[in-house]
Amino acid sequence: MANHGQIAFDTIDEIEASTDVADVADRFSGVLHQFGYTSFLIADSPETTTDIVPLALLNGWPHGWFDEYNRRNFFRHDPMLNWMRRTVDPFEWTEVPPNMLEQPNAQAVMDAAKEFQLRNGFVVPIVRTAGMLAAVTLAGERPETEPRVKRALHLLGMYAHNKSRELHAPDDGIPPLQRLSQGERDVLSWLARGKTTWEISEIIHLSERGVIWRLNNALKKLDAVNRTQAVVLAMRTRQINP
């Protein structure tokens, strides 16, 4: 059985060593294929714009699909994009409420996607500073969807997004990250290994309330909206090890 966590961490090391977006795309695409995902897009979420081309950080969609999606303004009716604006949790395409999928315009988007072998997918919403939205969208015909795969893809997607944004715009106005305390680094290190707050409290001999307090402090310092993003940012700044 594949060690999905180890695969994710190994790929993170490779992505971190990348010096251009093409290399990040190649590393990211390679690991996705191991899990049955043949296509991906990492992009900021279109809000008022009518052109998604400038918003794409890494474009691994099938040839022609990106142009088709943009030409037909599918972002206005894409049920995945609409659902992403309502949740910060990663989700499979099949988890989007049926009433959103069954709308005529939404069906047109999904029917067109199937013509490019995009039948099933997984979306990782990303909330950036000042509430800006971005997303990592993965798709294929028969991708793996078991929980351990989705956890690995969640981490990988957020890391690939951060790295590609850094390479596109090294100075994007985001405030400098603050230094974590040793206790906060310990909590994030154990979270990265899949431990719960209760398990961490047993390991480091601290009350669960104390663990949560350290975790919340780390989220604030890193300007992270959830635990996974905090772990990714702590790794990216080398405050914890993969």
CATH number at residue 10: 3.30.450.80
pLDDT per position as a tens digit, 22-31: 888 889 999 9
Whether residues 159 and 190 share a domain: the answer is no
- Cβ atoms of 45 and 81 within 8 Å: the answer is yes
Confidence of residue 174 (pLDDT cuts 50, 70, 90): very low
- Domain membership of residue 106 (yes or no) is yes
Q: Which residue has the higher pLDDT, 116 or 236?
A: 116
Tally Cβ neighbours within 10 Å of residue 114.
11
Q: What is the DSSP string of 52-99?
A: -GGGEEEEESPTTHHHHHHHTTGGGT-HHHHHHTT-SS-EEGGGS-HH
Q: Could you tell me if 37 and 137 lie in one domain?
A: yes
Q: What is the distance between the terminal CA atoms of the chain, rounded to a whole angstrom? A: 21
pLDDT value of position 165: 86
Domain boundaries, position 30: 4-168
Question: Distances from the Cα of 241 to the Cαs of 179, 222, 230, 234, 238, in angstroms?
Answer: 15, 16, 13, 8, 6
Any domain includes 177: no
- Chain-centroid distance, C-alpha 27: 15
129-154: per-residue pLDDT in tens? Answer: 556 688 999 999 999 999 999 999 99
Q: What is the pLDDT of residue 195?
A: 92
The pLDDT tens digits for 31-43 are 999 999 999 999 8
Tokens of 102: 């069954």
Domain co-membership, 196 together with 132: no
User: Closest by alpha carbon to 91, among 103, 77, 81?
Assistant: 81
Among 125, 157, 134, which Cα is nearest to 55's?
134
Q: Is residue 136 part of a domain?
A: yes
Across the range 60-71, mean pLDDT stands at: 88
In a domain, 242, yes or no: no
Q: Is residue 41 part of a domain?
A: yes
Supply the Cα-derived Rg of the chain in whole angstroms. 18
Confidence band (pLDDT; 50, 70, 90) for 197?
very high
Round to whole Å and give the CA distance between 69 and 227: 32
CB 123 within 8 Å of CB 95: no
Pair (64, 8) in one structural domain: yes
**Among 108, 133, 168, which residue terminates a domain?**
168
Q: If you ran DSSP here, which 8-state letter would residue 120 be given? A: E
Q: What total number of domains does the chain contain?
A: 2
| Look-up of token digits 């996705």 | 32
pLDDT above 70: percentage of residues in the chain = 91
C-alpha 226/C-alpha 215 separation (Å) is 10
| Inter-residue contact 129 to 106 (CB < 8 Å) | no
Residues 192 and 161 in one domain: no
pLDDT at 215: 92
**DSSP letter at 124?**
E
- pLDDT of res. 172: 46
pLDDT one-digit tens code per residue, 71-81: 898 988 999 98
Residues 78 and 129 grouped into a single domain = yes
* Domain-ending residue, one of 168, 201, 228: 168
Within this chain, do residues 152 and 199 fall inside the same structural domain, yes or no? no
Q: 146: Cβ–Cβ under 8 A, 6 or more apart, which residues?
A: none
